[in-house]
Structure 1
Amino acid sequence: MPDQAKHTRRIFTGVDTTGAVPIEYRFSHARNGNRRLVVVFANLTAPDEYGWANGVLDKVRANILWIRDSFEGANTYYLCKGMDFLLERSVAGLIDRVMRSLHLTPQDVTVFGSSKGGSAALFYGLKYGFGNIVASVPQFHIGSYVLADMPDAARLMMGEVTEHNVAVLDAVLPDLAAASPHRNANIYLVTSPQDEQFPRQVQPFLHLFQGYANFNLVYNDSVLITGHGKVTLRNLPTIMGILNLLVDGVVPRIGLITNGGEVPEPDLTAIEQFLKDTSQVKGDSFPRPVITFPPAEALLPPDGVAVAGFAPGGVRVSIWENGKYLASAPVAADGSWSWQANRAFTAGRHLLRVFAADASNVQSERSDVVFTIDRHAPRAQPTVTETPPPAPVVTEPVDNSYVPGPTVRLSGHAFGAERVELAIGEHALGTVPVEDGLWSWQPAWEWRGGGHTVEARAAYSDGRTSPPGQVTFVVAGALARNPVLQQRYGG
């Protein structure tokens, strides 16, 4: 795919954990109120496993949903892991939730991809009845292809690589094309005889589309095409033209052409709520990493750069400089992590940005560390034991809020902790266990009306105790009698 100087669209990233398998995505709103959605599946060489995400689709006027094909470090054709197709249903669920959040129907959706992304576009379009399918140089016999050319994908998709499992995956797309009830889909299949995969992976299956109302074959017989990867590039202007026609409601076929339907000021409430709920960065519920070494504005020798700290709730931290990835470091059970650079840093001032990620790749907010490289600086050893563990976060009730009472539940998160201890001043209220980083506590007694400030401390299995976190709230009963509380919390 051609390089792009920069994106001209705002991109949102997220993880949809609604289904059985967490699905990572990127999303960009439509231009000028366009009422279409383009779903993009990744090709074999897509950077970061997001296909066509380098700016080449910036001028496509529709909403765009990119879906990542990276699970346990390998690809899956968006189909299965260990022959378990829960992954497919999770991907389909993500598309459905985005589509419904935009108040669209399947007829308003175009699925698009090249190579394995083209196979996925055909599969999801034919199985779930999306209106338009644009597939460039797909593979139809998926099992045979991954067995021969993608051994990591074969192991991940099949679990046990057997002739039976290869045959099952080989049959998925041909059987679907032969039996799909969605024969009014507008299908545009791009291919070339110069593609080395054409004789085995495309040509034998073209007859399966004879009963489709609007099947179009873009057949590029060009000597300038030198292999599989070049077919899509040579046809890129055609593909972009087809996409833009489809998202404008113009279907390239003989017959009635419909256009328009834009909404200049669309209601984005539902999709914005979806983006918020599935945002990859969960700063409100996932604490940013604490950096204990080096101290701010430290002087370090060129070959002595190390970073360490705490990241409770994370399984790894990711370290970046100037927008470029440097390294990842695992997070230990107690939340500690450390990283030692394996190269010398240049002289001068450096800023490293660090974030934590959990097992679903949900990310924390970023933490920065600034240091200066000086060849005369002494080497220092990193430490992660000087900073106490973070206080629990109370998410319910909201701090400084008014609650109806008389029963009040307190809940929140304390990643890595064993339990949370609650108190008002010197008076202990109770202790509650932490499960999967979350805690919740509701007493058997009723709260008296008025204001309360509750402190919460996290206790860890190694004996450490955090500083207190606290929440202040007002319970109904005192509000009507107190004009000061009325003014602060409302009538």
Structure 2
Amino acid sequence: MKLFNKVKQISIKQLIKEKENIYQGKQHPIKYMFLPEKNSPYLIVVLSGFNGREALKEDAKFNYIKTLINIKSNKLYIMDEVDNIPTYYYGTKSEPNYLNDSASLIQEIMSQHNIKREHLIIAGSSKGGTGAILIGNALKAGYIIAGAPQYFPLNYLNEINEKARTLIFNNILKHEDDFESVQNDMKEKMLNLDESTKLFLHAGNQDLHYIKHLRPYMSMLTKRKKLYALDLQHYEGHQNLKYKFPVFLTRIIHEIISD
């Protein structure tokens, strides 16, 4: 089994080496990997969470490649970094330019492969979950699958490593005073859910991200009469999301593409 896992890991590294590309957006170059599936009408877009080494400015990583490797669908993995620093899939200088460039990349892939909006699935967990909702709403995607996203993303940054926090704040914000306006813009964009979009949310009931972020987000969605589905599992700690979300993600995707 260990040998099999090692071979699989090597093959994924080779896959990334062969398939990783750069999209030149209007504001930012975006690293991505597209894996086509000729006979599938669906496109699954996967966004990445934090890698835990942002303070060292290490390269971002694609998430859930192994999780989805056997699913027969077009797949697009998009990184979130400008100069090796995350932007929360939002942007730099207090503008949603990374969001817009990411949306343009997705639209270009959809156009090239005749993907309809109702067959667009955007997924991610934690930061990637926030990004999935932001970009999914911007594109009025058919489906959004988000695991424990942050509804107050800039507040959350105050809880991480100080060096990483400073790097990310300086990347996203043009001025310190833009904190509230940028966070409010992100929150509003997360609430701008089209009635045609099916939103699937997942969290652990003892994960503080569920308590601090997801519950307030769902409350606001309910106030605005927006529909969503919640998969609430019994586990604690945000660190367990990486074990629980893949199970939920694959189940929902199988339900969608086999419908």
TM range (shorter): 0.7 to 0.9
Shift of residue 179 of structure 1? 4.1
More strand by share: 1
1:243 aligns with 2:253: yes
2: CA distance, partners of 1:43 / 1:138: 10
Asked if the contact 2:59–2:84 (Cα under 8 Å) also holds between the matched residues in 1, the reply is: no
Q: Which protein is bigger by CA-based radius of gyration?
A: 1
1:36 aligns with one of 32, 42, 49 = 42
1:17 aligns with 2:30: no
Deviations 1:391-413 (A, max 9, x none): xxxxxxxxxxxxxxxxxxxxxxx
Aligned to 1:323: none
Q: How does 1:92-171 map to 2 (within 5 A)?
A: 92-149=103-160, 150-162=165-177, 165-171=178-184
Shift of residue 175 of structure 1? 1.7
Aligned to 1:209: 221
2: CA distance, partners of 1:39 / 1:54: 11
Q: How does 1:40-439 map to 2 (within 5 A)?
A: 40-45=46-51, 48-149=59-160, 150-162=165-177, 165-180=178-193, 182-210=194-222, 211-213=225-227, 215-222=228-235, 225=236, 227-248=237-258, 250=259
Shift of residue 76 of structure 1? 0.4
Shift of residue 77 of structure 1? 0.8
Deviations 1:86-134 (A, max 9, x none): 2221111111101111111211110000000000001111222000000
Asked if the contact 2:28–2:82 (Cα under 8 Å) also holds between the matched residues in 1, the reply is: no
2: CA distance, partners of 1:97 / 1:27: 12
Asked if the contact 1:190–1:232 (Cα under 8 Å) also holds between the matched residues in 2, the reply is: no
Deviations 1:252-307 (A, max 9, x none): xxxxxxxxxxxxxxxxxxxxxxxxxxxxxxxxxxxxxxxxxxxxxxxxxxxxxxxx
1: CA distance, partners of 2:249 / 2:96: 30
Aligned to 1:340: none
Asked if the contact 1:192–1:231 (Cα under 8 Å) also holds between the matched residues in 2, the reply is: yes
Structure 1 window deviating more from structure 2 (133-142 vs 69-78): it is: 69-78
Aligned to 1:332: none
Asked if the contact 1:136–1:232 (Cα under 8 Å) also holds between the matched residues in 2, the reply is: no
The SS at the match of 1:217 is strand
2: CA distance, partners of 1:145 / 1:237: 25
1: CA distance, partners of 2:114 / 2:123: 20
Gap change, CA 1:84 and 1:175, over 3 Å in 2: closer
Structure 2 portions without partners, runs of 5+: 53-57
2: CA distance, partners of 1:243 / 1:151: 36
The SS at the match of 2:205 is coil
Asked if the contact 1:132–1:187 (Cα under 8 Å) also holds between the matched residues in 2, the reply is: yes
Q: Which has the higher contact order (CA 8 A, sep 6+)?
A: 2
2: CA distance, partners of 1:71 / 1:110: 24
Q: Give the letter aligned to residue 24 of structure 1.
A: K
The SS at the match of 1:26 is strand
Gap change, CA 1:168 and 1:196, over 3 Å in 2: same
- Please, what TM-score do these two structures have when normalized by structure 1? 0.46
2: CA distance, partners of 1:244 / 1:14: 27
Deviations 1:153-197 (A, max 9, x none): 1111013323xx2212322343234444x1221111001221122
1: CA distance, partners of 2:204 / 2:64: 24
Structure 1 window deviating more from structure 2 (231-240 vs 60-69): it is: 231-240
What's the % identity of the aligned pairs? Answer: 18
Q: Give the letter aligned to residue 100 of structure 2.
A: R
The SS at the match of 2:256 is helix
1: CA distance, partners of 2:33 / 2:98: 18
The SS at the match of 1:135 is strand
Asked if the contact 2:129–2:148 (Cα under 8 Å) also holds between the matched residues in 1, the reply is: yes
The SS at the match of 1:201 is helix
Aligned to 2:55: none
Structure 1 portions without partners, runs of 5+: 251-491
Deviations 1:283-340 (A, max 9, x none): xxxxxxxxxxxxxxxxxxxxxxxxxxxxxxxxxxxxxxxxxxxxxxxxxxxxxxxxxx
Asked if the contact 1:177–1:209 (Cα under 8 Å) also holds between the matched residues in 2, the reply is: no
2: CA distance, partners of 1:53 / 1:192: 19
Q: CA RMSD in A?
A: 2.3
More helix by share: 2
Asked if the contact 1:174–1:208 (Cα under 8 Å) also holds between the matched residues in 2, the reply is: no
Q: How does 1:436-451 map to 2 (within 5 A)?
A: none
Gap change, CA 1:178 and 1:114, over 3 Å in 2: closer
2: CA distance, partners of 1:29 / 1:132: 19
1: CA distance, partners of 2:65 / 2:120: 21
2: CA distance, partners of 1:140 / 1:92: 20
Structure 1 window deviating more from structure 2 (109-118 vs 139-148): it is: 139-148
Shift of residue 246 of structure 1? 1.9
The SS at the match of 1:104 is coil
Q: Give the letter aligned to residue 231 of structure 1.
A: L
2: CA distance, partners of 1:200 / 1:63: 34
